Structure 1
Amino acid sequence: MPRWSPDAALRLEAAAILLFEGQGFSATTVPQIAEAAGLTTRTFFRHFADKRDVLFLRDREFPHAISDFMAAAPPESSAPATVRAGLSAAARGIQDWRQPIARRRKVVHSEPALHERELLQRQHLARAIEQSLRQRGIDPRQSHTLAAVAVTCFDLAMERWLEGPPELLFEECVTSAWNDIRDCVDG
């Protein structure tokens, strides 16, 4: 087996998803994942703390990406417009990841032990959004509220996108979920 592989984390992720789908999360071991990826167990642990961690590989950088997207919004944008711009840019960025996201989500939702980790990822995303807004000078209370709304919007949009027809754009789902939240609050 190779000692170093530049794509090791992605190979481990792909192998893990296949094994989780085939034999279940609980029945899959780290050595099985490493072997299926053509790597060593040691390599696995260089990239991941445990087998749960492999399912959240792509989520590591997502809060930073959202922050970057929000920072790119014009400085005169309102706080809600900044959040919407960040979510829309993120949606465009992951449009082509529909199938891997759906597969990963199915595994996560099939295993109660993974729900806690998914909630923690949402908290990291909310914190990144809140910090981005505060860096723009937005009131801390409004920043906190908008961050919570943004994460809820993103989750609703993700559900709609994955359950919708293949041609559905994730960005359209973000806009629809945002409008629904606004209508419920204003209603």
Structure 2
Amino acid sequence: MGRWEPNARERLAKAALELYSERGYEQTTVAEIARLAGLTERTFFRHYADKREVLFGGSSGLQELFVNAVALAPGAAAPIDAMAAGLEAVSEVFVDRREYSRQRYAVVAAHAELQERELIKLASLSAALADALRGRGVTEPAASLTAEAGVAVFKVGFERWIAAAEERTMAQVIRESLDELKAVTAGG
């Protein structure tokens, strides 16, 4: 087995998604994921806490990127414009990942346990974004409202981007979703 080969984390994630898509989440074991990836169960658990987490392994990096982009937006930027900077940065992560994202979304949507994990990750993201906005001097409730709105734009934009007929980039869909939110809040 190629235990020490590079990209073990990515190989495990790819193998898990393949098996979850083919056989179902409940029917797939960690041993099967590791075997398909050409690794051991021990290696799996070095990278992921459980078989759910393999689908959410990139969430901490995504959160860090999003939060940093919001925190580093130009100082004079309005809160929603700082959030737009974060959304733009996050969109870049998904370049060339539409098919993977579609498969992952389908697996998560089919299982309540995975949906719950997804909601927990989104709540954590919102809290971190609100902290970043407060760090920029945005007061409450504006910081929390802007963070929740940013997560909603991300979620809605992502779901639109993975739609079968969608061909635009995620950045384009996210920008359009943010513009729609701005129009709604402006009374348009």
Give TM class, smaller chain: over 0.9
Task: Give, as a single letter, the amino acid of the residue that structure 1 aligns with 2:123.
Answer: Q
Listed as ranges, the gaps of 5+ residues in structure 2 are none
State the match for 1:149 in structure 2: 149
Deviations along 1:56-108, one digit per CA (max 9) or x if unpaired, are 11212111000122233111111111011110121133222111111111111
Matches of 1:152 and 1:25, distance apart in 2: 26
Q: Give the drift of 1:145.
A: 0.7
State the match for 1:132 in structure 2: 132
Task: Give, as a single letter, the amino acid of the residue that structure 1 aligns with 2:53.
Answer: D
Please state which structure has a larger fraction of its residues in helix.
Answer: 1
State the match for 1:9 in structure 2: 9
Task: Give, as a single letter, the amino acid of the residue that structure 2 aligns with 1:180.
Answer: E
Matched, 1:104 2:112: no
Residues 164 and 85 from structure 1, CA distance in 2 versus in 1: closer, same or farther, beyond 3 angstroms?
farther
Deviations along 1:145-173, one digit per CA (max 9) or x if unpaired, are 10000000111101111115453121121
Matches of 1:24 and 1:100, distance apart in 2: 16
Matched, 1:171 2:171: yes
Q: Give the drift of 1:2.
A: 3.7
Identical aligned residues as a percent: 34
Task: Give, as a single letter, the amino acid of the residue that structure 2 aligns with 1:25.
Answer: Y
Task: Judge conservation of contact 2:87–2:154 (CA < 8 Å) in 1.
Answer: yes
State the match for 2:21 in structure 1: 21
Task: Judge conservation of contact 1:66–1:128 (CA < 8 Å) in 2.
Answer: no
Task: Judge conservation of contact 1:156–1:177 (CA < 8 Å) in 2.
Answer: yes
Matches of 2:24 and 2:108, distance apart in 1: 11
Task: Give, as a single letter, the amino acid of the residue that structure 2 aligns with 1:99.
Answer: E
Task: Give, as a single letter, the amino acid of the residue that structure 1 aligns with 2:37.
Answer: A
Task: Judge conservation of contact 1:67–1:132 (CA < 8 Å) in 2.
Answer: yes
Listed as ranges, the gaps of 5+ residues in structure 1 are none
State the match for 2:92 in structure 1: 92
Matched, 1:181 2:186: no
- Secondary structure of 1:95's aligned partner: coil
Q: Give the drift of 1:5.
A: 3.6
Task: Judge conservation of contact 2:3–2:38 (CA < 8 Å) in 1.
Answer: no
Q: Give the drift of 1:186.
A: 2.8
Equivalences for residues 59-70 of structure 1 within 5 A: 59-70=59-70
State the match for 1:116 in structure 2: 116
Scaled by the length of structure 2, what TM-score is found? Answer: 0.93
